Amino acid sequence: MTYLFQIFNGIGIGMLYFLLAVGLSVIFGLLQFVNFAHGAFYLLGAYFTYDLVERGYSFWVAMPLAAIMVMALAALTEIVLLRRIYKLPHTFHILVTVGLALIIQEMTIIVWGPLGGNVPPPEGLNGVIIVGDFIYPEYRLFVIAFTAVLAVGLWWVLEGTRIGAIVRAGSESSENTALLGYNTLRINSAVFGLGAGLAGLAGALAAPIRGVEPFMGLEALGIAFVVVVIGGMGSYTGALLAGILVGVTQSVMASLWPEGARLMIYLGMALVIVAMPRGLLGRA
């Protein structure tokens, strides 16, 4: 029974990893841009939620508002700063986005202090569900259900709508997309904002589970890269599968051998890189 509990936890966390990774993956697909500031947007999503809840707003207002604020901030950053460096080599992407991540992290410490804090589970979901001798927090179940609906919705947008087709077309060739009359600069900003907004949403949803602290962004960045590498760059279902795999591994290991949880994940990534360099479901 303890394992069932851990597996459920792992799925919930894994779905948050999926939200993180899918944004990173879509941004890389469209812009060929490695965004090391992705974890910082997750950090901001969590802290915005924390701040709004502290100010007395309901979590149900704070969570979507935090995600939208992160989206707007990220789109602005793209317009002012990042679009100027796409054409430079990847080393410059790393330099600029790591710098951006550090600035955001230090700003967080300046504004909210180095200690972090807790976000209580939202009203209506602060109890537990009991089935037989299985006890599970309601909020974690909500996270699983909510992110599952979101995953399906996102998949539909990307694969089933005209807007999704335009984004996929842009990932293949922005020049050819422009020849059809699309302003690719605007599409880039929107997609960057959306990807970062998903990271912000993951942060907002994670806040009641794991609290907020200034270094959660760094940790999330590492996890997001692991998930993208295992799942395959640019693969939507790969990000979903790998997110859940990583979440469950981490969660189960936490009860078996806590010190080895991180080791297992990075070892798993190393194995995937050696055996399947494109990731589990990466495109040829």
Partner 1 sequence: MSIALQVENLNTFYGKSHILQGIGLEVREGEIVALLGRNGAGKSTTLKSVCGALRPAQGAIRFRGKDIAGWPAFRAAQEGLLLVPEDRGIFGLLTVEENLRISQRKGSPWSLKDIYRMFPRLEERRRNNGGQLSGGEQQMLSIARALLNHPRLLMLDEPVEGLAPVIVDEIVNQVLEIKQRGIPILIVEQNLAVCAKIADRNYIIELGKIAYHADAVTFANDDEARDRYLGVKAD
Q: Does 173 bind partner 1 (CB under 8 A)?
A: yes
Q: Does 126 bind partner 1 (CB under 8 A)?
A: no
Query: How far apart, in whole angstroms, are the C-alpha atoms of residue 73 and residue 65?
Result: 12
Q: Does 87 bind partner 1 (CB under 8 A)?
A: no
Question: Residue 56 is encoded by which pair of tokens?
Answer: 């007395």
Q: Which is nearer to partner 1, 98 or 169 (CB)?
A: 169
- Which DSSP string do the residues of 188-234 spell out, in sequence order? HHHHHHHHHHHHHHHHHHHHHHH-B-TTHHHHHHHHHHHHHHHH-TT
Query: x/- site string to partner 1, residues 24 to 43, per CB under 8 A?
Result: --------------------
User: Nearest CA to 135 among 230, 265, 269, 1?
Assistant: 1
Rounded (10°) angle between helices 184-210 and 59-80: 140
Q: Which is nearer to partner 1, 108 or 177 (CB)?
A: 177
Looking at 92, 142, 182, 215, which residue binds partner 1 (CB under 8 A)? 182
Binding segment for partner 1 (CB under 8 A), chosen from 65-73, 130-138, 164-172, 262-270, is 164-172
Q: Does 278 bind partner 1 (CB under 8 A)?
A: no
CB of residue 158 vs partner 1: minimum separation in angstroms? 12
Looking at 184, 189, 235, 251, which residue binds partner 1 (CB under 8 A)? 184
Looking at 107, 125, 158, 169, which residue binds partner 1 (CB under 8 A)? 169
Q: Which residues, including other chains, have CB under 8 Å from residue 14's CB and lie 6 or more apart?
A: 243, 244, 245, 246, 247, 248
Q: Which residues, including other chains, have CB under 8 Å from residue 78's CB and lie 6 or more apart?
A: 188, 189, 192, 193
Looking at 146, 148, 168, 249, which residue binds partner 1 (CB under 8 A)? 168
Q: Which is nearer to partner 1, 41 or 236 (CB)?
A: 236
Contact 83, 188 (CB under 8 A): yes
Task: State the residues that interact with partner 1 by CB under 8 A.
Answer: 162, 165-166, 168-169, 172-173, 175-176, 178-184, 283
